Structure 1
């Protein structure tokens, strides 16, 4: 059963008679009330609003008729915007505020294929959509109430899809940054004349859901931040940092130790990337796990790795180092390694069985070892494994930022702190031309 109903009037002609609109809405709303006699869902009416400077008196009157339903009917909200992207994104915010996920969209059949493209860009698999034919609902024929939409149009032409994506991008670019200015943390260890690099924080983006706000850089089918929003956050990062978002590559996290040598076919999943190409930016995410950056100023090669507790024990950092040595002839003594923000031993626990592996590596990696869930220092473990692998101690920087993500909700995302709908920051690096 739908938790929200969206009535799409966006394509109605501007010169429609006001009483026609009124009849259409009355009929649709009555059908909704009948169908949902026990638990009435939230209802949103989406319609086109001509910019005020271009609006006729007829259109003003039309908007008043539609908006009147918001006053007459409890639980109805009217959203009038100049673009479908703006209207749908505004409604998405209202759905997210109420934690609603099951939406019935009642719309003209010719809008179905178009709406699919908007949904693909602005929503994730968290949301479930059903479609009903607006005309069948309002005509009152012997069809199933809120009849399922049957539409022959399967897909839109590529050019129309491109126009929709452009409309969405332009709208998202117009939104203000939230929670302060965009802030990029940098390490003094990596030479800025050779490499461009940084670690992101959570400010300056457009993500509005509390645990994702505001500079989330990862879209997942299990979270509410869609790919278009993440892409806009990435565009803002690229603009501020000075790299091309079109040649940006992040690891495909599997909490293991596979490494992609850029230029070769990528593995199905990989937690490390290395490159010596100058036209790409590589990155690793983190939301408690460590985003680790690697730079060799002699051979001009770099790497990025995602190191959670499993990847740490599996040796993902040294796997990335070894890939640089094997592929680019790097000397282990020239490689610089910087550990980005991650959860600290103050906040991260594991079952004792898993903690034993860290204790075997170094007892100082574990606090309260006798407890059922000891505290673990994955940063210390990473440093030990790097030094054991030949990285010089002074070529490792693990204290350049206030590193405990769980302890700094104003600066960083944290899975430990925020639960399953958590945001993600990244570490990124590229070789300057």
Structure 2
């Protein structure tokens, strides 16, 4: 069922009386159902230096012809399509709406779909309704990438122009919740660039995603373009090349990709000895794990939730470093990034028993229906059993804020994202590591 309606008049269409009448009837038709609708008209904001206000006057005239209906219509006037769609998205996100009807001329459909693909996710459902076309009365002020013939797709140049427009617009937005803060491990050598992100300093505005969300999925409201801008800002702050960003393709398993070999569809660990490549492990209660061998100059990153922990993803990553790059397990250091603590994480009895079998200290209230489980302790125990030296594992709070890796993500809403706390529309932080490129003397 349609929850919101947006009428695209962005490129200065001059509407005939019959088109206005059709729009008026369309709005009434959408209001005829029991569920109230939210109606928006999207148009171009005139520059203060502009000598012509014809487009704006046309919108005013259209609204006047709607009569009493104009009281239920909100005008979204912005200088660019990217800004207009972004404002519209914020409006419907605040209302928690996701089903939208777009009324637009047929030649505009391809261009609008390009913006939708960049600024929305599969959470939103869009239905197009064609504004009756009367060519003799239609006028497009900016032919640019403004329209296509019916059924025609955008040319590559047009699509790149839209991507640049969206990227430029997002790049100008202010950071939210303060500056980007990166936590570091005191164990990882200075020859490596590394860190664990917190939630501050990005542009994501949805409360549970605000503000440095670093992952987009079909089930969340943060689109890829916004996440890409967050990553760009992080890369500038941290000093890595955004183009070298390599994130594990999470499957909650224990497979490890050796960079240089064929990349599998999914894996939870990744290792390399290439300099300048940034390995990335996501986390939102799950642990982002970073591995470094300062002797052989090899690194790894892994994502470890409770399933991956039981399957042994941490030692699988260590073993990959040993077998592929000749690392000595005693030289490898492991930093466990922020994750959910045993204070907040529970599992069913059957799963908790498997952690109890690793070590009884990994489980509290074992006799309850939902025992509390310590995935961090289990990871340390499994790493030590695999030969990693105890003092080469950092998994708890350090002595200073910049080394504080042991805070519970579910407890500290001001610092971290958490699936346990925020449920489905949750944000994601990351751990990242790269081998610094040697400068020529």
Q: Same fold (TM over 0.5)?
A: yes
| Partners of 1:396 and 1:70 in 2: CA distance | 70
1:56-107, CA deviations, whole angstroms, 9 ceiling, x for partnerless residues? 2545544544676798623311001111111001001111111111111011
Q: In the alignment, what sits opposite 2:6?
A: 6
Matched, 1:231 2:228: yes
1:288-319, CA deviations, whole angstroms, 9 ceiling, x for partnerless residues? 00000001111111000000001001100000
| Partners of 1:137 and 1:427 in 2: CA distance | 55
- The change in CA–CA distance for 1:178 and 1:70 in structure 2 (over 3 A counts) is farther
Q: In the alignment, what sits opposite 1:145?
A: none
Q: In the alignment, what sits opposite 2:177?
A: 179
- Report how far residue 187 of structure 1 moved: 1.1
1:259–1:323 CA contact under 8 A, matched in 2 = yes
Matched, 1:111 2:103: no
2:46–2:53 CA contact under 8 A, matched in 1 = no
| Partners of 1:244 and 1:156 in 2: CA distance | 30
The correspondence of residues 148-297 of structure 1 with structure 2, limited to 5 A, is 152-192=150-190, 194-297=191-294
Which 5+ residue runs of structure 1 have no aligned equivalent? 140-149
- The change in CA–CA distance for 1:152 and 1:73 in structure 2 (over 3 A counts) is closer
1:22–1:65 CA contact under 8 A, matched in 2 = no
| Partners of 2:122 and 2:410 in 1: CA distance | 27
1:15-46, CA deviations, whole angstroms, 9 ceiling, x for partnerless residues? x4xxx477644530222203541334111100
1:291–1:305 CA contact under 8 A, matched in 2 = yes
1:27–1:137 CA contact under 8 A, matched in 2 = no
Q: Helix, strand or coil for the counterpart of 2:270?
A: strand
Matched, 1:410 2:410: no
- Report how far residue 247 of structure 1 moved: 1.3
Which 5+ residue runs of structure 2 have no aligned equivalent? 137-147, 397-403
| Partners of 1:186 and 1:337 in 2: CA distance | 12
Q: Which of 379, 385, 388 is the aligned partner of 2:385? A: 388
Matched residue count: 417
- Report how far residue 246 of structure 1 moved: 1.1
Q: Helix, strand or coil for the counterpart of 2:353?
A: helix
Q: In the alignment, what sits opposite 1:147?
A: none
| Partners of 1:246 and 1:75 in 2: CA distance | 45
- The change in CA–CA distance for 1:131 and 1:63 in structure 2 (over 3 A counts) is closer
| Partners of 2:168 and 2:150 in 1: CA distance | 30
| Partners of 1:229 and 1:365 in 2: CA distance | 38
Q: Helix, strand or coil for the counterpart of 1:111?
A: helix
Q: Helix, strand or coil for the counterpart of 1:204?
A: coil
| Partners of 1:23 and 1:95 in 2: CA distance | 29
| Partners of 2:343 and 2:149 in 1: CA distance | 56
Q: In the alignment, what sits opposite 1:144?
A: none
The CA RMSD measured in Å over matched residues stands at 2.1
| Partners of 2:53 and 2:70 in 1: CA distance | 25
Q: In the alignment, what sits opposite 1:32?
A: 27
Matched, 1:93 2:97: no
Matched, 1:422 2:395: no
2:349–2:366 CA contact under 8 A, matched in 1 = yes
1:67–1:78 CA contact under 8 A, matched in 2 = no
- The change in CA–CA distance for 1:71 and 1:393 in structure 2 (over 3 A counts) is farther
